Amino acid sequence: MVSKSNTKLVLAILIILLIGFTKLFFNENDSIILAVVGPDHITVDDFIKSYSFGSSKLKSKNNPKNSYLESMINEMILSQELSKNKKYMIKDNDSRLELLRKELIVEKIFKTEVEDKIKITDEEILKSIINSQKKIKITYVYSAKYDKILECNNFFIKGYDLTYVKNIMEENKEIIISQTPYISDNQIVEPFKNIIFKLIPGKFSKIVQTELGYYILKIDDIITRSLSEIEIQNSKATHMKIIKNKKGDLLAKSFVNSYMSPKNIKVENQSFNNLAINLFQALKKNDVLSMDAYSKNEFEQQSWIYDTLVVHSSGIIETKHILKEIYLRPFRFDTRNIKLFSNDLEKKLAIVLRDYFLVLEHMNFYEIDYNDISNQINQWRRQLIIDDYIQEVYSKPSKSKIMSDTPYNLLNKKLDSLRSKTDISIDMKLLSKVEVIDNIKGQIPELQLFKLGLPYIKKAYPTPNTIFKVNN
């Protein structure tokens, strides 16, 4: 059985935030139509967002904006054709769209509570740039037990040096004393980064608590490379994003904690055990939790799904309401054994509960632009139609003996035929003026970004499949 105590669920959720990319280069032309494709159109806003997050494979080295726009047009043309076929229609109650709506609401809330509250000074940017040029050698003392690390710390407070402490503690296998090679700023993670650059070289830090145990740190040496003024200026945009991400992470965790703590959430021991065991068994059968797998399970005939899983300040939540939320999301679980799975499920449950309450209560606290959400949903719907179609095409074995009749080539023949029947108009003058982040030039890496506030990998914006690559 899974062993768990009936205590408050841990809600300090680590949230990866990649904030601000979509608005770096917007201007007064955001809503201006860039291209007309039959009955639909592509605005400057649509193009910039898609381009910023799209694959570099869709961006010709010679003319990346043109080739990317053509890929978007090809995708739109094909989606228009597929939408005429009931086979490829995606209804509003599709589970994927249901999840998207919830994600977009959560994203809007995180934008209000996190992104919009981030403030960055020139001094912070300069400090970040300077620190990035430092390489530091660090001695660290580690123990998983607080009493052991406290014993070491007391020696340092009394003035004993590291050699003395090593000799005293060398037989104690619960203490590790070691030294790093020279490491750069980007190799140091929190909470160490915030502490290390405040240390006086040669002086020991206070005890640092982490999820893995306890540390005491000491800077042994620092090597700093000086930068020219031009190098500093060229680095500012990158370091602004780095600082945004760091501050966004801290603000996000603070927001989640302040939002969830008053709810006094408690998880019922036996109900959690039942949920963990049944999900573990389901994963062993289906490998992944999906809505298809959910519909095939006969959970509704089992009494445990009607048990109270969560008790909170305003009432209770039955297991059945949480079960579907888990299946909706593309979670990955540790299934090596039931104990590891249970620990993983607890973290995922915290995320589900966060979103459950945010979506349920958002109307009371936040102004949500449902027109904007509806527009985004329609864009994602088009993406899903395309994805379903491409998956179908590539899953069918080619019956043709002609080598050129590959799924890729057949798709492009279809696109050529559709383009000849579709009125297409592009404002080339406007396109030339649109400023974008160009992955090709190495300004930012290939992006398959996390959506704001989400704990799992999800494309930040619907972008064309690489199959729509234009050869020019």
DSSP for 320-386 reads HHHHHHHHHS------SSHHHHHHHHHHHHHHHHHHHHHHHHGGGT----HHHHHHHHHHHHHHHHH
Amino acid at residue number 346: E
pLDDT at 225: 86
What pLDDT, on a 0 to 100 scale, did the predictor assign at position 227? 87
Cβ atoms 438, 64 nearer than 8 A? yes
Question: How does 283-299 read in b/e, with b if 16+ C-beta sit within 10 Å?
Answer: eeeeeebeeeebeebeb
d(CA 118, CA 270): 42
Query: Looking at domain 134-224, does it have CATH number 3.10.50.40?
Result: yes
**Pairing outcome for strands 208-209 and 315-318:** unpaired
Give the list of residues 6+ apart from residue 294 with CB closer than 8 angstroms, or none: 323, 324, 327
Residue partners of 347: CB distance under 8 A and separation at least 6: 10, 13
233-236 long-range contacts, CB within 8 A, separation 24+ = 235/129, 235/132, 236/125, 236/129
Coil, helix or strand at residue 136: strand
- Between CA 183 and CA 196 the distance in angstroms is 12
Interatomic CA distance for residues 29 and 461, integer angstroms: 20
Instruction: Name residue 43's beta-bridge partners.
Output: 33
Give the Å distances, CA to CA, from 422 to 73, 74, 81, 410, 415.
10, 11, 10, 19, 10
What are the phi and psi torsion angles at 184 (to 5°)?
-95, 170
Write the Ramachandran bin of 269: left for phi over 0, alpha for psi from -120 to 50, otherwise beta. alpha
pLDDT tens for the 472 residues of the chain, in order: 444 444 333 332 222 222 333 333 334 445 789 999 999 999 998 898 888 888 888 888 788 999 999 999 999 999 999 988 888 888 777 888 888 888 888 888 888 888 889 999 999 999 888 888 888 999 999 998 899 899 999 999 998 888 888 887 767 778 888 899 998 877 887 788 778 878 888 899 999 988 788 999 999 999 888 888 898 898 888 888 888 888 888 888 888 888 888 999 999 999 999 999 999 988 887 767 777 667 667 677 788 989 999 999 999 999 999 988 888 888 888 888 999 999 989 988 988 998 889 888 775 666 777 777 888 888 888 888 888 888 887 777 665 555 556 777 778 888 888 988 999 999 999 999 988 865 433 333 333 334 444 556 566 778 888 888 776 5
Q: Compute the chain's Rg from CA coordinates.
A: 27
The alpha carbon dihedral of 409, 410, 416, 418 has a sign of negative
Dihedral in degrees, nearest 10, Cα atoms 348, 353, 359, 365: -130
Distance CA 35, CA 69 (A): 9
User: Amino acid identity of 138?
Assistant: I
Are 183 and 217 in contact by the 8 Å Cβ rule? The answer is no
Cβ(235)–Cβ(227) below 8 Å: yes
Query: Tell me, what amino acid is at 378?
Result: N
Closest by Cα among 57, 60, 64, 38 to 47 = 64
CB 357 within 8 A of CB 263: yes
324 CB-near residues (< 8 Å, 6+ apart)? 294
Q: What is the pLDDT of residue 7?
A: 39
448: amino acid identity, one letter = Q
Domain boundaries, the chain: 134-224
Cβ neighbour number for residue 101 with a 10 Å cutoff? 17
Distance in angstroms (rounded) separating the CA atoms of residues 274 and 319: 9
| Bridge partner residues of 176 (DSSP) | 142
Nearest to 428 by CA among 47, 27, 12: 47
Q: Are 280 and 338 in contact (CB under 8 A)?
A: yes
Nearest to 34 by CA among 55, 48, 17: 48
The token pair that represents 103 in the structure block? 């994600």
